[in-house]
Amino acid sequence: VMERIRPNWIIADAEEGARQVTELAERFSVGEIMVHPVAGQRREDDPHTAPARVRTLELLTEALKPATA
Q: What is the mean pLDDT of residues 42-66?
A: 90
Q: Position 52: which residue type? A: A
In the DSSP assignment, the letter for residue 60 is: H
C-alpha 8/C-alpha 31 separation (Å) is: 19
Confidence of residue 67 (pLDDT cuts 50, 70, 90): low
Q: Within 13 A of 8's CA, how many CA atoms are on the CB side?
A: 6
Residue 68: is its pLDDT beyond 70? no
11-52 pLDDT, tens digit each: 999 999 999 999 999 999 999 999 998 888 888 888 788 898
Strand boundaries in 1-69, DSSP class E: none
56 contacts 13 by C-beta, under 8 angstroms: no
